[in-house]
Amino acid sequence: MAKVEKRKFLGIVLFIFIIFLISLPFFAGSGGRSFRGSSNKVGVIRISGIIVSSNPYVKRIRKFAKERYIKAILIRVNSPGGAVAPSQEIYREILKAKKKKLVVVSMGSVAASGAYYISSGASYIFANPGTLTGSIGVIMEYMNMKNLMSWMKLKPVVIKSGKFKDTGSPYRNLAPQERKYLHGLIMNVYAQFVTDVYEARKEKGLKFSMLRKIADGRVFSGEEALKYHLVDNIGDFYDAVDFIKKETNMKGEPQLIYVRRKRSFLSDLLDNLTRVIIGESHEGFRESFFNQGYNLLYLWR
């Protein structure tokens, strides 16, 4: 009888241990992580892919900015940009964080358009010599399916409250007034981009006259961007880490803290289902969906 009880006890202990191991990834490095201990901690945030939402990045920036054990924030950017409003929201959160501690950007393969917008707000920017960056501009595009609809002998019916309500409809050509209206909208948002970059970079030697000259949508290599004062130095991720160590007078090696996105069973299940159904990750599906239709973008094409 004692042996049976012992086996039951060992079985319960083993079961609890297995549950602990399964649960560990959901808690390790999660948003509730404590950063107490050494003051050599650097909060690292990765911004990659098309920017469709600011929420996950803003949360991480805010968390690192208010955590006193985090000495600096290092943002690794590898993105062609994305939607206008999320780019602006991340940019403004970086400006807030910069008032509290050092914020350094390390550019990967590409940090263009909205991704450059975000980067410009940092205290210091590193780019690789071959990084593609810049692409300061705004783009709006949509598919004109007028001829296709005619070929299919389909005629869309639109009832609208004002003459501009269906501007950008894929079922007809733009009227001259509509094109003028959309161009004005784009130029307004473009002016916001240029102004914010200038305000963030003017103390780094960026001249407004030069910015207006080069802010025509073109991309630059990291070396060219340095010449135009769009970035501060040439170097990789670990050069940025060494810079932070020096600027914050750290004793010993910096400890890099990554906050992994908390995932649930349902989000994992959704990812797996979308991979099976459409052969893409859930994030990839969101990006594909985002690229359909009529959008105002800070995006390098």
Give the per-residue pLDDT at 97: 96
In this prediction, residue 285 has a pLDDT band, given cuts at 50, 70 and 90, of: very low
- pLDDT of residue 278 exceeding 60, the answer is no
Domains of the chain: 34-299 (3.90.226.10)
- pLDDT of residue 208 exceeding 70, the answer is yes
Give the per-residue pLDDT at 39: 73
- pLDDT of residue 163 exceeding 60, the answer is yes
What are the beta bridge partners of residue 9? Answer: none
Encoded amino acid at 263, one letter: R
- pLDDT of residue 209 exceeding 90, the answer is yes
Using the structure block, give the residue that is written with the tokens 């994305």.
Answer: 82
In this prediction, residue 149 has a pLDDT band, given cuts at 50, 70 and 90, of: confident
Give the per-residue pLDDT at 292: 45
- pLDDT of residue 7 exceeding 70, the answer is no
Give the per-residue pLDDT at 280: 41
> Which range, of 62-66, 230-234, 286-290, averages the lowest pLDDT?
286-290
Tell me if 104 sits within 8 A of 123, measured CB to CB: yes
Using the structure block, give the residue that is written with the tokens 């239709």.
Answer: 293
How far apart CA 85 and CA 80 sit, in angstroms, is: 15
Give the per-residue pLDDT at 221: 97
% of the chain residues with pLDDT over 70: 75
Quick one: average pLDDT of 131-140? 94
Question: Which burial class, exposed, middle or buried, applies to 9 when counting CB atoms under 10 A from its CB (0-12, 13-18, 19+)?
Answer: exposed
Give the per-residue pLDDT at 156: 86
Tens digit of pLDDT for each residue in 226-241? 999 999 999 999 999 9
Give the per-residue pLDDT at 164: 84
- pLDDT of residue 276 exceeding 50, the answer is no
Task: Give catalytic residues, as residue numbers.
Answer: 113, 165
